[in-house]
Structure formats: structure tokens, C-alpha cells
Amino acid sequence: MRQPRHDALERWLAAEREDRADEAEAALLELFAALPLMAPPAGFADRVLVRAGLVETRPDPFAWRPLRVVLALCLVATGFGALWLPPVLRFLAGLWSVSGVVRGGMRAVTDAAAWLASALRVWDFLLTLAHALSRPLAVPQVMAVLVGCLLASGLAFRFLRDQITGERNFYVDPI
């Protein structure tokens, strides 16, 4: 830390008393240059803002030790995976031949055809089931019974709703 020189102070004061503005300005600048630079410690402004409540503090997720261990294990696993990469690529390169591509294409076509056949079998079963259920509905007597059941269930629902609404109004005042 530099100490301000007393001769600069005296020169400044003397120049001010005698109204010599240029000399006073030069002596004052020399005094200011001799003063130590004051800087707050690192992170001072952040700590002030946090303490004042103007900034939220977010915990650093990488400061958590188990997460760092997991990340390190992931890096180790990636390193071991890089050891397996050349043999796997060599194996995959052996698969890419013209006969292999044709064989793979034919296998994909036969698998797609087998899947389509099984889907059509399921569709045929669903159509048979739909026909078996729709034939009785075409008979007028069965349709009349079903409509009667629908009306009875609708009326029962209506009476039940009125019953529940009436009980609720008995205990709770409407707003």
C-alpha cells in the first residue's frame, strides 16, 4: 500500500490558496494516484444481493457428491464402451454384403406378411363377433326390451340425481 506523499499535499494546498488552478489540479491528481486502490473481495456483490433477498440462491447440483460419483462412473462406462466399439463395428461391417441385404429385405417382407396375416385373423374374429352381437339387435322384440332398459336406467339416474341434490341442499346453503 502506497502512502500519499506529503509534499504533493502541501503543493496542492499552496496552489489552492494562491489560486493556481493548473498546479492545484496536477498536485491533486498526484495525490489520488498515490492512494491505494480499494476493491471488494471476490463475490462481495453476490453475497450482498443474496443477503438483501434480491437474488435467489440456487444450489449447485454438481456440488452434490453422489452426483459427481455417478458422473464419474458414467465416464468410466463410456471409456469401456469405447473399447467394445471396434469389434462391434467390425461385426456390423461384415453384415453389409449384397446377399446379407437381400436376405434381410426378404426376412422383413416375410415378417410383415406374417404380421398382416395375424392382424387379419384378429379382424376376422372381431367381425364375426360383431355379426353375432348385431343379429339379435335386428329383431324388433329385442330392440324394444333394450330401449325399455335404457329408459328405466335414465329415469333411475334422474331420480337418484334429484335425491342427492335434495339432500345436499338440506345440509349446505346454496351460494
- Cα 157 to Cα 89, 144, 161: the distances in Å are 67, 20, 6
Q: In this model, does residue 159 exceed pLDDT 60?
A: yes
Report d(CA 52, CA 56) in Å as an integer.
10
What was the pLDDT predicted at 119? 96
Confidence of residue 145 (pLDDT cuts 50, 70, 90): very high
89 in any annotated domain: no
Confidence of residue 174 (pLDDT cuts 50, 70, 90): low
68 in any annotated domain: no
What was the pLDDT predicted at 51? 86
* DSSP code for 43: T
Residues 125 and 170 in one domain: no
Residues 124 and 146 in one domain: no
128 in any annotated domain: yes
Burial class (CB in 10 A: 0-12, 13-18, 19+), 26: middle
Residue 143, domain extent? 139-175
Residues 129 and 150 in one domain: no
Helix axes 6-17, 21-34, angle to 10 degrees: 150
43 in any annotated domain: yes
Residues 129 and 149 in one domain: no
What was the pLDDT predicted at 1? 39
C-alpha cell at 22: 493548473
C-alpha cell at 73: 462412473
Q: Give 21-29's long-range contacts (Cβ < 8 A, gap of 24+).
A: none
What percentage of the chain carries pLDDT values higher than 70? 91
Residues 50 and 12 in one domain: yes
Conformation bin of residue 90: beta by default, left when phi > 0, alpha when psi is -120 to 50: alpha
> Which one, of 4, 26, 30, lies nearest residue 15 by Cα?
26
- More confident call, 119 vs 60: 119
Out of 59, 81, 99, pick the residue that ends a domain: 59
69 in any annotated domain: no
Residues 19 and 49 in one domain: yes
Residues 143 and 130 in one domain: no
143 — phi, psi (to 5°)? -65, -40
SS3 content of the chain, % helix, strand, coil (to 5): 80, 0, 20
Residues 119 and 150 in one domain: no
What was the pLDDT predicted at 2? 45
Report d(CA 77, CA 89) in Å as an integer.
18
116 in any annotated domain: yes
25 in any annotated domain: yes
What was the pLDDT predicted at 128? 95
148 in any annotated domain: yes
Give the chain's domain count: 3
Q: First and final CA of the chain: distance in angstroms?
A: 77
Q: In this model, does residue 117 exceed pLDDT 50?
A: yes
- Cα 103 to Cα 88, 89, 116: the distances in Å are 21, 20, 20
The per-residue pLDDT for range 58-109, each reduced to its tens digit, is 777 777 889 899 999 999 999 888 888 888 888 777 767 778 778 888 999 9
Range picked from 50-64, 132-146, 158-172 for highest mean pLDDT: 132-146
Residues 48 and 32 in one domain: yes
